[in-house]
Amino acid sequence: MAVPTRNSNGGPPRPGSAWASVILGVLSVALLPAAIAATRWSDTYDLLHAAVAIPVALLLGALAVWLARRARSRLWPTLGRPRGARTARLGRLLGILGVLLALTAAGSVGIYALLSLVAD
């Protein structure tokens, strides 16, 4: 095609969902280390209390993956190299990493609970 084309809404798709997925992915990855680091400086906040951040990190990671998928599905029908495809890929990667970190932390807390139950 010699003439640039447009999509049905009159302009190129905006990668807003892709950027939102990156932001939520970064928050998901950074939340658990931040919660663990907070236990080092607090007298009343123990390491086991940091487990409260696990479901939040899991939710943020899942939202990041969903937003990245949404962004890629919106960018897929465009011709050429759509803006935001790499951003959506990065958001998906960070979201998956956040989910995996949350699942690893949940497994660690579960093993700790099991060992403390057996030890008593």
Instruction: Give the model confidence (pLDDT) of 91-107 as tens digits.
Output: 999 999 999 999 999 99
* DSSP codes joined into one string, 92-103: HHHHHHHHHHHH
Residue 34 lies in a domain: yes
Confidence tier at 78 by pLDDT (50, 70, 90): low
The residue with greater pLDDT, 58 or 11, is 58
Domain count of the chain? 1
- The whole model's pTM is what? 0.79
Residue 1 lies in a domain: no
Query: Is pLDDT above 90 for 46?
Result: no
Backbone angles phi, psi at 51, to 5 degrees: -65, -15
Sign of CA pseudo-dihedral 8, 25, 51, 115: positive
Q: How far is CA 9 from CA 35, 54, 85, in A?
A: 43, 40, 19
Backbone angles phi, psi at 19, to 5 degrees: -65, -35
The residue with greater pLDDT, 10 or 109, is 109
Residue 3 lies in a domain: no
Residue 73 lies in a domain: yes
Residue with structure tokens 């465009």?
78
Radius of gyration of the chain (CA): 20
Domain interval for residue 94: 16-119
Residue 112 lies in a domain: yes
